[in-house]
Amino acid sequence: MKEIIGVRFRESGKVYSFDPGNFNPSAGEHVVVETSRGIELGVTADPRHAIDEKDIISPLRRVLRIATQADIKTAEDLRSREIKAVELCQEKIEAHQLEMKVINAECSFDGSKIVFYFTADGRIDFRNLVKDLAAVFRTRIELRQIGVRDEAKMLGGLGICGRPFCCASFLDDFQPVSIKMAKEQNLSLNQAKISGTCGRLMCCLKYEQEAYEDLIRTTPKVGTEVDTPAGPGTVSDVSLISGKLRIKYESAGEFSFRTFDKCDVCPRRGGEHCHKKNKKNEKAPAETAET
């Protein structure tokens, strides 16, 4: 077993594991850690706890110290510098007439590097832009192209539900979402209604997918022949959430319909009657006979 802590560097960002050493920071406490990008200031998301060493993703970097007020002040100054850096970068982009838009900037805690995140429709030759930015900031410059989902996560905003974007408020990482999920949840396939502000399928389609998959497995499909308390019929409509089935009956060329709970019907197997019985219904006649 190995003791670790979880550290987050950005609000709603991914949680990374670090070796706490002799430190024992509490949740929400700032720490200075060693990362692949250099020295960084983060917030403790998960206090010190033990996990199996086979579950550790190597290399496990260490916590250098509990952050001081000076460290926190430095981080605040860097956030202000990042805002100005974005404005200046966009001005340089327009001067070079590049078809790209800068979204965000991140200054490393030790001031050795500034990373600019941008969006563009295709590949961009930004070598001259990097030279100009390096001359102004006198530090190492990196430009990274991101997609529309990452843009929404960085900028934030309100979704069509009226709440802050899930990706910008609590999602650590993006989950794969498919149009199949919308179909199985019986949602309108109108792209405008199932897409988020980023233009991609809404992340929240993933939340209830497991519940819908379970309901689909346990609910007869439309067209299934079933036995019901009113006799054999065919499922004509299904409500997955309520568990109600609309059953069609045919008699002498005429059709009628009744609604039952899915627990009250039983699919026919190979044309044979279903022999599933309710235990309570089995017990009730026996008790009545005894009395």
Decide: pTM greater than 0.85. Answer: no
- With 0-12 / 13-18 / 19 or more C-beta atoms within 10 angstroms meaning exposed / middle / buried, residue 290 is exposed
Domain at 220-279, CATH class: mainly beta
| pLDDT mean by block of 10 residues, the chain; 291 residues | 86 83 89 86 89 80 91 90 92 92 90 90 90 91 91 88 87 86 88 89 90 91 90 90 91 87 84 49 36 29
Tell me phi and psi for residue 151, to 5 degrees: -60, -45
**CA 261 to CA 264: how far, in whole Å?**
5
**CA 193 to CA 206: how far, in whole Å?**
15
**CA 212 to CA 240: how far, in whole Å?**
8
CA proximity to 46, closest of 63, 34, 70: 63
**In the CATH scheme, what is the homologous superfamily, with its name and number, of domain 74-146?**
K homology (KH) domain (3.30.300.20)
**CA 267 to CA 46: how far, in whole Å?**
49
Q: What is the pLDDT of residue 273?
A: 52
Domain residue spans of the chain: 2-67, 74-146, 150-209, 220-279
Q: What is the pLDDT of residue 274?
A: 60
